[in-house]
Structure 1
Amino acid sequence: MSQPSPDTAAPRGAIARFLDTVERVGNKLPDPAMLFLLLMLAVWLLSWALSGVDFQAIDPRTGTPIQVVNQLSGESLTAFMANMVRVFLGFAPLGVVLVAMLGLGVAEHTGFINAALRRVLSVTPKQLLTPALVAVAVLSHVAVDAGYVLVIPLGGVIFYAAGRHPLAGIAAAFCGVSGGFSATLLVPSSLDPLLASFTQEAAQILDPALIVNPLNNWIFTSASSLLIIAIGWFVTDRIVEPRLQRTPVDGDPANLPKMDDLSAAEKRGLLWAVIAMLVAAGLFALTLMPETSPWRAPADVVPDGSHPLLVAAAPVMQSIVALIFVLFLLPGVVYGYIAGTVKTHRDIIAAMTRSMSGMGYYIVIAFFIAQFLAGFNGSGLGTLMAVEGADFLKGLGLPMWLTIIGLILMTGIVNLFIGSASAKWALLAPIMVPLMMQLGVSPDLTQAAYRVGDSMTTILTPLMPYFPLIVVFCQRYVTSAGIGTLVSIMIPYSIGLSILWTLFLLAFWGLGIPLGVGASYIYPAG
């Protein structure tokens, strides 16, 4: 696939005007930190207004009517003040970002990442950069959220170094990491057994003997990765990047990577850094092999059909961020000493410090995101939205294929407000799985529909915890970039994913292709 010429392929007409309007309106939104503060206040006011209403909707997890909790009551406000620090420190994405960026910061500031990318790009055709980047982004799901802090910023670096628009690289990587979050490139991720556990628990509400295989969607999600790569490739090269040709890159040139030929010192440093990384990875792999490896999950918590290294409880899966820190810190240090960019240990600490100084804005935003999510979750509004939406879907009495589409769309809407895949499924599964079982749809198909809906709108919502971080990545290259810029760039991806991925699932269903290991389409299976 060749890159369109910017002077002939730049999109015109209604679509271009619509995206430009989205960008202008979105950039007029308040600063992300203030936006989350305003949203938190809106949640408080709405919870106060609805706290006295008796809802008929039943929370399937407790069997009691849903009650909205007034976040403006004296008890809630004092709890908010008392828990403010704990809520901030317990905001999981913050730790993931900061710890990973410590190691990545050293690898970046010593020049290792830049040198490695320049070497790879010197032998990689520009036409293949996009699909390769999206494929790596999809593969990063094995490491759960690591793609957000590792692959997405590298997407901008790779495209910029190759003479392409860096925001297109960030967008392509964002499409693979977040838009294709439920896809898995052959290797199962920890998300598979995690979601299956919620599905099984929900299914056993109606059928206590039903067992859900942790790899019940593995074939579908693996095949989906090819679809995600194709969508990301086409949208990036044919729609997004041509439009971005009108957006100048005005970031500080001193802080942006270059694509010069490697010097002799850089080549030596890169060689030894890669050797150090491979040796470390090899030694680590050896520690995974023994049946008694401490990296494996205990046998009593490993579901049937799952590998003890791939379940969420496995220490290796819980150590992904720490492993990223070490596996980038080590080659970064080796490269720095060999290439001469590092003289003493003080230079290493200075590199970490510079990396953290660049994260100051995200830390501020993270504080307000954490407080907003705490209030939203504590109010019960999310549960009310999910249950009422499911009841509405059931009442429509649609054909089954339309019901599946409705489930996907409802998940996509809820996804705009609740970013965590496991949190949403923990909420929706007890509602949707028994409902669909009563309609003759297997828990495996319901879960697959959820996974499609869970991915297609994540790239559009500023409420997704990593969204502000990606805006920061964009601002490195285009200083005027804001929420509207990123949303307008990602809309074509979301449209493509919503339509084509939904059709892809329906095609799987229509052709009877197995969704995964031990999976079925109908309930009861027969």
Structure 2
Amino acid sequence: MEHAQHRPETIKDNRFLSWVETTGNKLPHPFLLFVYLAIFVMVISAVLNYFNINTYNPKTAETYPIKSLLSGDGIAYMFTNFVKNFVNFPPLGTIITVMLGIGLAERVGLLSTLLTQTVAKAPRHLLTFFVFIAGICGSIASDANYLILIPLVAMVFHSVGRNPLAGAAAAYAAAGAGFDASLFITVGDALFAGIATDAARIIDPDAYVSAVDNYYFVASSVFILAIVGTLIIDKVVEPRLNNLHPLSTMIKERPTAEVNMTAEEKTGLKRVALFTLGYFAFVMALVLPESSALRNADGGLIPSPFLKSLVPFMFFYFLGIGIIYGKAVRKIEKVEDIPDLMADSVKALATTLVLFLAISQFIAYFKWTGIGNLVAFEGAHFLQSVGFDGYALIISFILITCICNIFMTSGSAQFALFAPIFIPMLMQLNIEPAFTLAMFRIGDSSTNIISPMSPYFSVALVYMQSYKPELRIGTLMATMLPLAIGFLVFWTSFLLLWTGLGLDVGPGVSMYIN
């Protein structure tokens, strides 16, 4: 009878999910999408040039014609600047540098050990909360966060007599819906900052967005999201799953929660902790003196060479802890192992580098033709005419982002599409580029867990099916939906409160430019 009562709802869910999946599958590969967009910019620039449409230079307050990419000058520009557009694309060097460091720490097993121990050793009454803290901050481990955390948390929940399906849901929500929040500076921070910088330079050639320009807000968001996620899992999701799929129906035997470390892993973590303290003291010694070369001309830190040097500081830190831990666990036995492991970590960036080749050309064309300024100027006027400012603007932008995120789950691809349009447009309304990025983070994260387009949607389903083989996509969607909505509502509300209190989202970065 239970299955008969829930069948209509499942069919309805599946029809909706089928529509989402079919629609999403019609989107081209992100690389091809930006190739098509670059071609579109070529054609539209020629059309606008033919009709003598003028664009606006916000720096000089002058107007000038849209430049055609299909003219002699345009064709010469595309061919002579093809390599330059790619090589000078701001996120390119940043993400490779950061990944060389973080990738080494991941390859020697340090990040997975930290994730495992954080969850397995958590007090039972704080288990869900620790899962969310670990999962949200685990985005520093990139894809490994999903692959390690979901089965681990399901097992730990099961071992302490809680529903493993709820554990898997909590881990998936933390890793997916909280992806763009963290207590650490991540590869994503560096990547988004680079794309935002390139987009902001459509309006201001001297614009710069750093990897820490959202840090105050995203670091505080970790605790808000962990509390919200804990309440939804413990009060809504797990009671519902206990009714529909009680613990007694799980096909796996109840395991032990103990996840022991080897002596080498314990030694490695102790050495990493000591290195972290020493490295922090070293950085403070470089930065604290008022005469430090890493401070600005006035002796301050906002802005300063130090903030612009965070990427190399991150690189050397992760390189250091990766080498120390790798030697302790014998993943690094000779010096030659270090560059080999670093090279292996960069292989994971192959897809991103291919995508960057197309994105860099699209943004460069958008900027060179003057279409970026035109869209920014006219779009800003439209938003002003309909009265979109302040809270209405924040809510509208986040909703647009989260809806698009269901169909385009690559955050870098979506931001590369949004940034050259929305960042210049909102700069015309006096909105800081870094604040636009803060809004984007909320929409880009919240709906990750309800998108069948996400590769980890099926990963989460498979892990859950290891406990309940008859589980279907509709059950997963119904389980994750309260978490997606909860994160979206409370995270947006938190940004509105943050803005209302006049707090900076990062060092020296508020909502408004002036």
Q: TM-score category by the smaller chain? A: 0.5 to 0.7
Alpha-carbon distance, 1:323 to partner: 1.8
Question: How far apart are the structure 1 equivalents of 2:480 and 2:376?
Answer: 25
Question: How far apart are the structure 1 equivalents of 2:323 and 2:399?
Answer: 45
Question: How far apart are the structure 2 equivalents of 1:117 and 1:266?
Answer: 13
Alpha-carbon distance, 1:324 to partner: 1.9
One-letter code aligned to 1:374: A
* Equivalent residue number for residue 424 of structure 2: 427
1:40 aligns with 2:38: yes
Asked if 2 retains the 8 angstrom alpha-carbon contact of 1:514 and 1:520, the reply is yes
Q: 1:160 to 1:80 in 2, by over 3 A?
A: farther
Asked if 1 retains the 8 angstrom alpha-carbon contact of 2:376 and 2:421, the reply is no
Alpha-carbon distance, 1:51 to partner: 2.2
Question: How far apart are the structure 2 equivalents of 1:102 and 1:519?
Answer: 29
Asked if 2 retains the 8 angstrom alpha-carbon contact of 1:156 and 1:169, the reply is no
* Equivalent residue number for residue 294 of structure 1: 293
SS at match of 2:321: helix
* Equivalent residue number for residue 394 of structure 2: 408
1:124 aligns with 2:132: no
Alpha-carbon distance, 1:72 to partner: 1.9
Alignment of structure 1 residues 75-474 onto 2, 5 Å: 75-124=73-122, 126-133=127-134, 136=137, 154=145, 157-163=148-154, 172-173=174-175, 175-176=177-178, 178=180, 227-229=224-226, 260-299=259-298, 308-309=300-301, 311-315=302-306, 317-396=307-386, 403-408=389-394, 411=397, 419=416, 427-428=424-425, 431-433=428-430, 453-459=439-445
Alpha-carbon distance, 1:454 to partner: 4.4
Asked if 2 retains the 8 angstrom alpha-carbon contact of 1:159 and 1:166, the reply is yes
Kindly provide the CA deviation profile for residues 409-451 of structure 1, in whole angstroms up to 9, marking residues without a partner as x: 6655997876599977873466324xxxxxxxxx8xx999857
Asked if 2 retains the 8 angstrom alpha-carbon contact of 1:224 and 1:501, the reply is yes
Structure 2 length-normalised TM: 0.64
One-letter code aligned to 1:323: F
Alpha-carbon distance, 1:282 to partner: 2.5
SS at match of 2:41: helix
Asked if 1 retains the 8 angstrom alpha-carbon contact of 2:446 and 2:484, the reply is yes
* Equivalent residue number for residue 471 of structure 2: none
One-letter code aligned to 2:393: L
Q: 1:113 to 1:134 in 2, by over 3 A?
A: closer
Alpha-carbon distance, 1:407 to partner: 3.0
Q: 1:404 to 1:312 in 2, by over 3 A?
A: same
Kindly provide the CA deviation profile for residues 433-481 of structure 1, in whole angstroms up to 9, marking residues without a partner as x: 4xxxxxxxxx8xx99985764444445999xxxxxxx9789999999xx
Question: How far apart are the structure 2 equivalents of 1:427 and 1:153?
Answer: 35
Alpha-carbon distance, 1:170 to partner: 6.9
* Equivalent residue number for residue 208 of structure 2: none
* Gap runs ≥5 in structure 2: 1-5, 156-166, 184-192, 205-213, 242-257, 405-413, 463-476
Alpha-carbon distance, 1:229 to partner: 4.9
Kindly provide the CA deviation profile for residues 152-193 of structure 1, in whole angstroms up to 9, marking residues without a partner as x: 754654444434888975764564454799xxxxxxxxx9xx
Alpha-carbon distance, 1:106 to partner: 1.8
SS at match of 1:292: coil
Question: How far apart are the structure 2 equivalents of 1:29 and 1:421?
Answer: 16
Structure 1 length-normalised TM: 0.62
What RMSD over aligned residues (CA atoms) do the two structures have, in Å? 5.2
Asked if 1 retains the 8 angstrom alpha-carbon contact of 2:45 and 2:67, the reply is yes
SS at match of 1:359: helix
1:27 aligns with 2:18: no
Asked if 1 retains the 8 angstrom alpha-carbon contact of 2:46 and 2:69, the reply is yes
One-letter code aligned to 2:335: H
Q: 1:24 to 1:493 in 2, by over 3 A?
A: farther
Question: Which deviates more, 155-164 or 275-284?
Answer: 155-164
Alpha-carbon distance, 1:118 to partner: 2.4
SS at match of 1:325: helix
Asked if 1 retains the 8 angstrom alpha-carbon contact of 2:110 and 2:322, the reply is yes
* Equivalent residue number for residue 142 of structure 1: none
Alpha-carbon distance, 1:312 to partner: 3.8
Alpha-carbon distance, 1:54 to partner: 4.6
* Equivalent residue number for residue 305 of structure 1: none
One-letter code aligned to 2:285: L
Asked if 2 retains the 8 angstrom alpha-carbon contact of 1:155 and 1:172, the reply is no
Question: How far apart are the structure 1 equivalents of 2:79 and 2:356?
Answer: 17
Kindly provide the CA deviation profile for residues 262-309 of structure 1, in whole angstroms up to 9, marking residues without a partner as x: 12222222222332233222322233222222322221xx7xxxxx23
Alpha-carbon distance, 1:109 to partner: 1.9
Question: How far apart are the structure 2 equivalents of 1:382 and 1:404?
Answer: 23
Q: 1:91 to 1:236 in 2, by over 3 A?
A: farther
* Gap runs ≥5 in structure 1: 1-7, 138-146, 182-190, 203-216, 244-258, 303-307, 434-442, 463-469, 480-487
Alpha-carbon distance, 1:24 to partner: 3.7
Asked if 2 retains the 8 angstrom alpha-carbon contact of 1:175 and 1:459, the reply is yes
Question: How far apart are the structure 2 equivalents of 1:461 and 1:47?
Answer: 34
Alpha-carbon distance, 1:344 to partner: 0.7
Aligned residues: 422
Asked if 2 retains the 8 angstrom alpha-carbon contact of 1:48 and 1:70, the reply is yes
Asked if 1 retains the 8 angstrom alpha-carbon contact of 2:271 and 2:325, the reply is yes
Question: How far apart are the structure 2 equivalents of 1:23 and 1:265?
Answer: 46
Alpha-carbon distance, 1:363 to partner: 1.5
Asked if 1 retains the 8 angstrom alpha-carbon contact of 2:135 and 2:145, the reply is no
Question: How far apart are the structure 2 equivalents of 1:348 and 1:127?
Answer: 37
One-letter code aligned to 2:347: S
Question: How far apart are the structure 1 equivalents of 2:378 and 2:363?
Answer: 20
SS at match of 1:356: helix
Question: How far apart are the structure 2 equivalents of 1:429 and 1:69?
Answer: 23
Asked if 2 retains the 8 angstrom alpha-carbon contact of 1:134 and 1:229, the reply is no
Question: How far apart are the structure 2 equivalents of 1:219 and 1:320?
Answer: 15
Asked if 2 retains the 8 angstrom alpha-carbon contact of 1:130 and 1:232, the reply is no
One-letter code aligned to 1:294: A
One-letter code aligned to 2:98: A
Q: Sequence identity of aligned pairs in percent? A: 25
